[in-house]
Structure 1
Amino acid sequence: MMQRRQILAMVVGSAIAGLAAGAGAQDVIKIGAIAPLTGNFAPVGQSQLNGLELRTEEINKENGKYKIKLIVHDDASKCNESVNATIEVLTKDKVTAVFGATNSPCALAMIPSTSRYKVPQFTYGVGTALTEQGSKWIFRIAVGAPGQSRALANYAVHDLKQDKIAVLYSDDEYGASMANGFKKALQDLKLEPAAFESFPISDQDFTGQLTKVKESGATALFATGVYTAVALIAKQAKQMGMNLQLLGDTGTATPKFAELGGKDVEGTILVVPFDPDSTAPKVRSFVQKYNAKFGRNPGGWEAEVYDALSMIYEAVNKSGENTPEAVRKYVSGLTPEHPYVGVLGEWKFDQKGNADFPLYMVKIEGGKQVVVSK
C-alpha cells in the first residue's frame, strides 16, 4: 500500500509541477486517469500512463490558455477500486474527462458513474459490451474486439493460408469478446474454429485445453487473455510437441509478452494499431519524444492515449469551454468526413462511441515486433 501511494504521489506531483504558474481554475483541464500501476496488468497501465504524461508535458509547455492536470489512481485491475476512484474524480475533483479502465470488466463497472455525472469516459477495453450500454459518454479508444479479430482472421486465412485455426480464450468479458469475434470472422470466411476452448482467468495450467487443440488437428492457434497467460500457453504448447502458428491481439502486443515467452513465441502474428517505424512526420516526432523520455519506443497503448488527450485538449481549445459536454460533442463529431488526424492516423467514432483507425500485423522476430502487413 505504501509503495502504491508513493507511485501515485510521484505521478500526480509530476503532473501538477507541469502546470503554468499563472493558470486559473477555469484554465486547468482536469483529467482522471484510472489504470493498473500494480499487479499483473501494471506494464500495460504504466505504458498508458506514459502516453498521458508525455502529452501533458507537451501541452503544459505550450503558450496556450489551457493546461492539463492529471489525477491518477491505481486500481490494480480490481473493479471495485476502479469504481471508487471514478466516483472520487467525478465528485471531488470535477474532472472534464476520465481515462479507464484498462480491463474491460472494470471499464464496464465505471460506466454507470460516468453516465450519471455526464463525463466522457475514454476506455482502452475492447469488450463488446462496453459500447452497448446506451451511454453517450463512453468512447472506446481502441479498435474493438470485432474489428481486431476480423483483421486477424482475414490475415491468417488469406495471407498465412491457415484453415484449421483453434481458439483458446479467458472466460472474462475481454477474452469472450475476442474469441466470439474471431469465431464470427472465421464463419464469414466459411470456416469454423478447429477447437474452441476457454480457461479461467487465474489458470496457469493449459494442458487440458491444449490436448483438445492438438486432437483437433489445428495448425494455428488464436490465444487471447492476459499476456502472461498467452505466454504460458505458448510454452506449454511447445512442451507438448505442438508446432502451431500463434496469433494474438493488441492485449498480447506488449514487449513483456516477447520477454516472457522467449523463443516459444517467435513467429507469433499480432494485430496492433501502431507502427513506430513509420516515416509519417507526426509518428517520427512522437517516437523521438517518447524515446527521449522513457528510453524505448512507444506502442499502441501509448499512442492511443496520446491522441485521445490531444482530442480532449482540442475540444476545449476550439470551443473555449472547459466542460465535459464540450469534449463529448467534439469527439462524437469525429466522422470519416471530419476525422481527427493523430499519430494513429485518422480517428473516427461511430454512434456508439467505437473508434476506428488503421490496424497493422506484426511478427515477433528476435524478440521485436516487425510489421508484415499494413
Structure 2
Amino acid sequence: MRLLMTTSAVLLWLSLAASAEAETLVGVAAPLSGPSAILGKQVEDGAGLAAEANGLAIKTADDACTADGGAVAAKEFVDAKVDIVVGFLCTEAIETALPILKNAKIPVITVGVRTESLTDRRAKTGWPVYRLGPRGDDERNAVAAKLTQLWRDDLFAIVDDGTIYGREMAETFRAAAEQAALKPVFVDTFRPQLDNQIGLVGRLKKAGATKVFAGGDGDDIAIMGRDAAQLNAGITFAGGENLRTPPGDVPYAVGTLMIATPEWSEVADPKIVQAFGAKNIAPDGYTLPAYAAVEIAKTALADAESSGEPLGKALTGRDFATAIGTIRFDDKGDLGQNPFRVFRFDGTHFVPLEDK
C-alpha cells in the first residue's frame, strides 16, 4: 500500500513538473525606467491584462530604451526560456536584443519601433521580428496614396515647413501625384510658428488651390485654416499625424483632414476596453497594441505546437483576430496593410472619413 502511494505521488509530481515546464511564457520588453517609463508602463499593463485573460505567464524585463538595456533584457528572456517576446518601443534596445534572441530562436513582436531597416534587412540579418504598428514610411506613403486618390479632380497645393519630416511628406506626395499624371498648382516652403499665415494663404488663393497638404505641425495648420476662412479662400487643409496633438489657441477649421492611425480605444472590442476600465487602466497609448501582441503570441504558439511548424511560420501570412481588429504580418514581418487612415475634423474631434 505504501509503495502504491509512493508511486502515485511520484507520478503526480512528474505530471505537475511536466505541466509547469510546458507552461507558455511570454517575455514583455518595455522601458520601465528613464524618460520613457510612462510608455513602458502602458506596454506592461496591456500585456499583463492580456496574459491574465488568456491564461499565460509573463516575464517582464526593463529594456530602458537603451542598447545596454536591450541586451540585458534579451539575456533575461533567454535565461527564463520564454517562448516569445512582445514589446520594445526603441530602436536602440531592440537592435541589440534581436541577435541574442535570434540565437535562442525566440521571435519578437514589437509594438512601437518604426525603423524601416528593422524588417527591410531581414534577408541579411535573419532577425525574427514582427511589427505590430506602422513603419516609418507608412505615414508619408499613406498621405501620398490617399490624397492622390481623394484630390484627383481638385486643384491642390503642397507646402511644407522645411523640416526633414515636412519635406519628406511633401515630396512623397508630390512624386505620387506626378506618377498619377497630377500636378499641384502651387508648391512652396512656409515659415513655421508664425502668428498668422495670411501671406501664404493669399498666394494659395491666387493660385486657385482648394485643397492643400501642409507638411508641418498642427499649430501651423490650424492657423492656416483660420486665415483661409478670414480670406474666404475656400481651402481645405490636410496634414499628417501631427494633427493628433491638440492645437494651441487656434482650433482646427471644420473639414481639416488628418492622415493618422486610429485611436485604438475607439476601434477596439468594447468588452476589452471595459476590462481595462475594471482594472483602472486607461486603454490608451501602447496598452491595446500590447494586449493584441499577447493575443497573437498565444494563437501563434498554439498553431505552431499543433502543426509542428516553426513559430516564425505560424506568425507569417495569416490573419489574427485581436482586440484591435484583424492583424496580418507579411513575409518581412511588417503589417500586411498600412494602418494609416483619413480623418476629418468635425468641429470637436477627428472622425474617420470613408475611403473613396
Is the pair's TM-score, using the shorter chain for normalization, greater than 0.5?
yes
Q: Which residue of 1 aligns with 2:354?
A: 373
Query: Separation in 1 of the partners of 2:139 and 2:236?
Result: 18
Which residue identity does 1:285 align to in structure 2?
K
Q: Which residue of 2 aligns with 1:124?
A: 112
Q: Which residue of 2 aligns with 1:268?
A: 256
Query: Separation in 2 of the partners of 1:212 and 1:156?
Result: 21
Which residue identity does 2:218 align to in structure 1?
A
Q: Is residue 49–residue 291 contact of structure 2 (8 Å, CA) maintained in 1?
A: no
Q: Which of 147, 152, 174 matches 1:156?
A: 147
Q: Which residue of 2 aligns with 1:304?
A: 289
Shift of 1:53: 1.6
Within 5 Å, which residues of 2 pair with 1:151-300?
151-159=142-150, 162-168=154-160, 171=163, 178-192=169-183, 194-195=186-187, 197=189, 205=193, 215=203, 217=207, 219-223=210-214, 230-237=217-224, 245-249=236-240, 251-252=241-242, 254=244, 257-258=245-246, 260=248, 263-264=251-252, 266-270=254-258, 271-273=260-262, 283-293=269-279, 298=284
Query: Separation in 2 of the partners of 1:214 and 1:129?
Result: 41
Within 5 Å, which residues of 2 pair with 1:15-34?
27-34=24-31
Q: What are the superposed Cα offsets for residues 281-337 of structure 1, whole Å, 9 maximum, x if unpaired?
A: x722233334454576647x544333222212333344459xxx9653432x2x2xx
Query: Separation in 2 of the partners of 1:180 and 1:239?
Result: 25
Shift of 1:230: 1.6
Q: Is residue 146–residue 178 contact of structure 1 (8 Å, CA) maintained in 2?
A: no
Shift of 1:155: 3.9
Which residue identity does 1:348 align to in structure 2?
R
Q: Which of 121, 128, 133 matches 1:133?
A: 121
Q: Is residue 220–residue 245 contact of structure 1 (8 Å, CA) maintained in 2?
A: yes
Q: What are the superposed Cα offsets for residues 63-107 of structure 1, whole Å, 9 maximum, x if unpaired?
A: x3x3123334553xxxxx3x2321121124436425233xxxx52
Query: Separation in 2 of the partners of 1:214 and 1:35?
Result: 49
Q: Which residue of 2 aligns with 1:67?
A: 57
Q: Is residue 225–residue 252 contact of structure 2 (8 Å, CA) maintained in 1?
A: yes
Query: Separation in 1 of the partners of 2:226 and 2:96?
Result: 45
Shift of 1:340: 1.3
Shift of 1:355: 0.4
Verify: 1:314 aligned to 2:299, yes or no: yes
Which residue identity does 1:70 align to in structure 2?
T
Query: Separation in 1 of the partners of 2:114 and 2:188?
Result: 20
Taking every aligned residue pair, what percent have the same amino acid on both sides? 17
Query: Separation in 1 of the partners of 2:162 and 2:88?
Result: 21
Verify: 1:363 aligned to 2:351, yes or no: no
Report the TM-score when normalising by structure 1: 0.63
Q: CA RMSD in A?
A: 4.4
Shift of 1:177: 5.9
Query: Separation in 2 of the partners of 1:262 and 1:176?
Result: 24
Which residue identity does 1:252 align to in structure 2?
N
- Cα distance 1:258–1:207, how it changes in 2: closer, same or farther (>3 A)? closer
Which residue identity does 1:286 align to in structure 2?
I
Q: Which of 330, 341, 351 matches 2:331?
A: 351
Shift of 1:234: 2.5
- Cα distance 1:207–1:261, how it changes in 2: closer, same or farther (>3 A)? closer
Q: Is residue 149–residue 185 contact of structure 1 (8 Å, CA) maintained in 2?
A: no
SS of the residue corresponding to residue 217 of structure 2 reads helix
Q: Which runs of 5+ in 1 are unaligned?
A: 1-21, 76-80
SS of the residue corresponding to residue 356 of structure 1 reads coil
